[in-house]
Amino acid sequence: MTNTAALLEKLRAGLSAAAIVTDPAIIAPHLEEWRARGVGNTPFLLTPGSVEEVAQIVRLCAEAGVAITPQGGNTGLVGGQTPQGEVLISLKRMNRVRGVDATADVITVEAGAILANVHDAANAAGRRFPLSLGSQGSATIGGLISTNAGGVHVLRFGMMRDLVLGIEAVLPDGQIFHGLRSLRKDNTGYDLKQLFIGAEGSLGVVTAATLRLFPRPAGHLVAMVALETPEAALELLQRARDETGALAAFEIMNRTSVELARNLPGVRVPFDPPPPWLALLEFESAVPDGFRDSIEAMLASAIDDAIAQDATIAESEKAAADFWSLRELMAAAHRTVKTPQVSHDTSTPVSAVPAFLHQAGAAVERLSPGVRIVAFGHAGDGNIHYTAIAANAESRFPAEQISAAVHDVAYALGGSISAEHGIGVFRRAELVRFKDPVALATMRAVKHAIDPLNIMNPRVLFEPD
């Protein structure tokens, strides 16, 4: 009997029937990468309903020497959630809200809870969980923690790491780490929950988390601004931040990205033809009235000073949602492209975003003449999603060299090759090229200390020895 067949027998003896899935039709969607970049395989899918079931699964897998890949909403963009022979654990049945404390401003949820449902639960308690991204209808708290997700409100509220107060997780030997604290202050040695944030499933299975909540904004305003250059975007960012004190999101999109997304259903572009750059600004205030004046004044002065070409404010919630859908459908728009493409998730210091765009553009054009550049993202955080698309099917398009060149430019400007998506499998080789060797060796030492059998998502982060 093979290792996995014997393991399956033991799992059947200990788990509820609902926790074991062997039907290929049910398993199939869990093996498909969102952008169709590879299909995975797994002997079977496990869908535990409790932390105790997760602990039992991990302990039995460790005893059998069978590796595990955890999965949440399967929206990750670096291939870390796609098993290649590992047993797949989906947390989708562990999706309960365990409690909300509106006074302490915390919510405790299971790892399989979908982000949009956590928004609703916080809302129902008169509070707000501010992490927000295009995949929020599918991405789960466990996946968002494991990738240390960012999204559109990092400017004001930080990354997922800044929003997590406590974590419950199952360690690679099956022990349960009971770290579901809701304290703002707790200086009692190493902050072990941090190990699981951004670990991409390599140090254990996150089963629940306690998250920070915030007041809901009373005033809310969304504006779209037409710009000529990335330098102008940077100036607008500074003005919006300093002159309104209410900036919550600052996204930019280049013309090619807007042209790609504008034909998708539900998208409306307020400027026709689209300008070279569009900025999407969101403002929030604790008071309902009065803050619009400072925003209008800031936009008017930006136009007078030739920083902005034009600006429009969404006059209804529907109009605001329409502005956001243009930005949020950017990732989906890539799927309509039929020529070769290669994507990046770089960050640089915010002040270096224009230099990054110019230098990367020149480097990529040298490698692939006529290349189309789709550049958009969280400019307020220095995070640009940067995709090179071949001019046509016959064009020279050395994808690996293009990626290396884009990463070289970001790194030379003091940036990172992964701002918010993680390393996963797709960026492992580049991590070796750019991560400080001492940091990489320390990461390996941590992995070995916690997971000596290399059971937990063994293909992410590190190149095989």
Ligand X SMILES: Cc1cc2nc3c(=O)[nH]c(=O)nc-3n(C[C@H](O)[C@H](O)[C@H](O)COP(=O)(O)OP(=O)(O)OC[C@H]3O[C@@H](n4cnc5c(N)ncnc54)[C@H](O)[C@@H]3O)c2cc1C
The site for ligand X (CB under 6 A) is made up of 34, 69-77, 80-81, 91, 111, 133-135, 139-140, 142-144, 146-147, 149-151, 200-201, 205-206, 331-332, 420-421, 424, 457, 460
CA-based R_g, the chain, Å: 23
336 vs 51, 53, 331, 400, CA distance in Å?
40, 41, 10, 22
CB neighbours of 388 closer than 8 A, spacing ≥ 6?
341, 342, 364, 368, 371, 372, 373, 397, 402, 406
CB of 396 to ligand X, least distance (A): 29
Distance of alpha carbon 116 from alpha carbon 140, whole angstroms: 9
Distance of alpha carbon 454 from alpha carbon 461, whole angstroms: 12
**Minimum CB distance to ligand X smaller for 224 or for 331:** 331
CB of 330 to ligand X, least distance (A): 8
CB of 367 to ligand X, least distance (A): 27
**Minimum CB distance to ligand X smaller for 69 or for 257:** 69
- CB-CB neighbours of 2 under 10 Å: 10
281 vs 5, 320, 391, CA distance in Å?
54, 10, 31
**Minimum CB distance to ligand X smaller for 95 or for 403:** 95
CB of 412 to ligand X, least distance (A): 24
**Minimum CB distance to ligand X smaller for 116 or for 367:** 116
CB of 76 to ligand X, least distance (A): 3
CB of 134 to ligand X, least distance (A): 3
**Minimum CB distance to ligand X smaller for 43 or for 151:** 151
**Minimum CB distance to ligand X smaller for 140 or for 347:** 140
Q: Is the peptide bond before 273 cis (omega within 30 degrees of 0)?
A: yes
CB of 446 to ligand X, least distance (A): 15
Measured at CB, which residue is nearest to ligand X? 143
- Reading phi first (left if > 0) and then psi (alpha if -120 to 50, else beta), residue 425 is in alpha
CB of 136 to ligand X, least distance (A): 8
- Reading phi first (left if > 0) and then psi (alpha if -120 to 50, else beta), residue 205 is in beta
Distance of alpha carbon 75 from alpha carbon 144, whole angstroms: 10
CB of 329 to ligand X, least distance (A): 8
**Minimum CB distance to ligand X smaller for 81 or for 210:** 81
Distance of alpha carbon 106 from alpha carbon 103, whole angstroms: 8
Distance of alpha carbon 155 from alpha carbon 54, whole angstroms: 35
Rounded to a whole number of angstroms, the distance between the first and last alpha carbons of the chain is: 29
Q: Among residues 97, 117, 126, which one has the least CA distance to residue 109? A: 97
439, 165 contact by CB (below 8 A) = no
CB of 369 to ligand X, least distance (A): 30
For the purposes of burial, counting CB atoms within 10 Å of the CB of 335, is it exposed (0-12), middle (13-18) or buried (19 or more)? exposed
Tokens of 2: 């093979």
**Minimum CB distance to ligand X smaller for 139 or for 371:** 139
Which DSSP string do the residues of 48-112 spell out, in sequence order?
-SSHHHHHHHHHHHHHHT--EEEESSS--SSSTTS-BSSEEEE-TT---EEEEETTTTEEEEETT
CB of 90 to ligand X, least distance (A): 8
**Minimum CB distance to ligand X smaller for 359 or for 418:** 418
**Minimum CB distance to ligand X smaller for 168 or for 284:** 168
Q: Among residues 344, 358, 134, which one has the least CA distance to residue 249? A: 134
